[in-house]
Amino acid sequence: MDWSREDLPHFQKNFYREHASVNKMSDNDVKQWREENSICVIGKDIPKPICAFDQTGFPEYIMSEIRHANFQNPTPIQSQGWPMAMSGRDVIGIAKTGSGKTLAFILPSIVHINAQPLLRKGDGPIVLVVAPTRELAVQIEGETQKFAYSSKIKHTCVYGGVPRREQARALQQGVEICICTPGRLLDFLESGTTNLNRVTYLVIDEADRLLDMGFEPQLKAIFSQVRPDRQVLMWSATWPKEVRQLASEFMSSDTIQVSVGSWDTKANHDVCQVIEVMTPYDKNPRLQKVLRTLMTGDSKKSKILIFTATKRGCNEISRNLVREGYPVTGMHGDKEQLDRDRALEAFKSGKCPIMVATDVASRGIHVDDITHVINFDFPLNIEDYVHRIGRTGRVGKKGTAISFFTKDDSKRAGRLIEVLVEAQQPVPKELKDMEHSGGGYGGYGGGYGGPRRYSQSAYDLRESRNGGGSANGGYKGYDRDNRDDRDDRDRHKSRY
């Protein structure tokens, strides 16, 4: 689009009116509140935080839904993020998973939509939300549904891996909010099914993940189709330095930033992190012993999410656990969307309290009662580790994450130790030895016995000696496991 030749109609994007009680807050009051909630802000003229829902300035149609949802108080990212988003400026927001980021951009978007002219025939959406995976996109639409219906705002979710017909029909009929993965949206843009000429509120969710997955060309293509004076909001649980420079070109010079906690990668402090250093041959017998402990006695109500590196590993572990009599479901990128939906529903309902999954479940899986996360295969980077363990310890609850760490993972020992120290978690001596030696099993001396207990968790991990066990065949190859979205990405790479 050559926007210099376009006659762009004016639109309104600043809707924030400071509440009288917020206006009375002194600079010291604001500073104290931000320090108490570990809030860091960057930018000029950043609005003061709101501390109660009646200070938000939201219209009654949103306030009634908030009361209906029985929300007591805004989360820290909402308290600071809502005034920033409502001000109409570009915003970067960073907070841990389960902190309420989705509502931090959805509720202001509803106010934004209701202030714009109604859609006409052939118009595309007014609000566009881009997410890295279909699971996250579906979760965002679920939250949108709870608050958009009272305003009769139409919305849809478009993503790969399912037939296009229903998604295309919704776009052609007209929707105010479109939630999407990049590849499928570009397919619809190229076919003329929709356009982005009306988009004035653009959200990039899990921006670090999108860029890390290689979606930068697709994001640039999408941005080129959105008018340059739009409002852009980027939200994420982490903001690693490797992608900050890439993200900066998408934002205006007047961007304001808010983070809960440090800009550096950090884990949820409500999660007890247990790191077990072992050989690859010990992982299967150790998993069996952990599950026997968690699925008996007082721990029988555990809900457990097990992460593997590959789809092959996911299938193999699922089959092994089924043979052992455990109620197990599985999720990875080779499964059809209907199968993935059924697996997630069985896990949510408790019908199958154990789910084995690849990193397709590391973000966007909104299950608040997961008690344990087990990293059977440690992820390739610490950001993914933080997101995996963030599936437990949500909405103020406590959780436990158990990670099997081997010689193949030694390159990540240093950064893992940083995360453990920041979260005030015990650091195993074997992990420290591995960092200093640059690999190997440190104090293990090459023995193939079972791992020792390295930190206190919700159950009793006794010292054990699990000699032997089947080899961990086929787990060395790491698969990102976003096949459908990756295929969509590759399909457009040469064009953008």
CA distances from 38 to 34, 80, 258, 347 (A): 6, 11, 10, 33
The residue-averaged pLDDT of 453-476 equals: 34
Percent of the chain with pLDDT strictly greater than 90:
49
Task: Look at residue 434 in the predicted model and tell me its pLDDT.
Answer: 86
Stronger pLDDT, 493 or 293, i.e. the higher one: 293
Contact 105, 235 (CB under 8 A): yes
pLDDT confidence bin for 79, thresholds 50/70/90: very high
Give the span between the Cα atoms of 146 and 15, in whole angstroms: 22
SS3 (DSSP) at 190: helix
Strand order in the sheet with 256-260: 39-42, 256-260, 91-94, 231-236, 201-205, 127-130, 177-180, 155-158
Task: Look at residue 479 in the predicted model and tell me its pLDDT.
Answer: 40
The residue-averaged pLDDT of 62-76 equals: 88
Stronger pLDDT, 71 or 376, i.e. the higher one: 376
Averaged pLDDT of the chain: 82
Q: Which CATH number fits domain 3-260: 3.30.565.10, 3.40.50.1970, 3.40.50.300, 3.40.1710.10?
A: 3.40.50.300
Task: Look at residue 475 in the predicted model and tell me its pLDDT.
Answer: 31
Pairing of strands 127-130, 201-205: parallel
Stronger pLDDT, 290 or 487, i.e. the higher one: 290
Task: Look at residue 6 in the predicted model and tell me its pLDDT.
Answer: 78
Lowest-pLDDT range, 60-69, 104-113, 291-300, 345-354?
A: 291-300
Tell me the pLDDT tens digit for each residue of 109-121: 999 999 999 999 9
SS3 (DSSP) at 341: helix
Task: Look at residue 495 in the predicted model and tell me its pLDDT.
Answer: 42
pLDDT confidence bin for 242, thresholds 50/70/90: low
CATH of domain 271-444: 3.40.50.300
Task: Look at residue 457 in the predicted model and tell me its pLDDT.
Answer: 36
Pairing of strands 328-331, 354-357: parallel
Contact 215, 206 (CB under 8 A): no
* Helical residues (DSSP H) of 164-323, grouped into ranges: 165-173, 182-190, 207-212, 216-224, 241-248, 283-294, 311-323
The residue-averaged pLDDT of 414-435 equals: 90
Give the span between the Cα atoms of 85 and 256, in whole angstroms: 10
The residue-averaged pLDDT of 372-400 equals: 88
Tell me the pLDDT tens digit for each residue of 325-368: 999 999 887 787 788 888 888 998 889 999 999 887 776 567 87
Domain-by-domain residue ranges, the chain?
3-260, 271-444
Give the span between the Cα atoms of 476 and 439, in whole angstroms: 16
Give the span between the Cα atoms of 390 and 379, in whole angstroms: 14
Got the DSSP string for 287-322? HHHHHHHHTSGGGGG--EEEE-SSHHHHHHHHHHHH
Stronger pLDDT, 445 or 76, i.e. the higher one: 76
Tell me the pLDDT tens digit for each residue of 30-61: 999 999 988 999 999 999 999 999 998 888 88
Closest CA to 256 of 116, 86, 107, 101: 86
Lowest-pLDDT range, 65-74, 246-255, 390-399, 473-482?
A: 473-482
| b (16+ CB within 10 A) / e for 265-285 | bbbbebbbbbbbbbbbbbbbb
Matching CATH topology for 3-260 and 271-444? Answer: yes
Tell me the pLDDT tens digit for each residue of 156-205: 999 988 889 999 999 999 999 999 999 999 999 999 999 999 999 999 99
Task: Look at residue 206 in the predicted model and tell me its pLDDT.
Answer: 86
Pairing of strands 177-180, 127-130: parallel
Contact 491, 182 (CB under 8 A): no
Contact 150, 456 (CB under 8 A): no
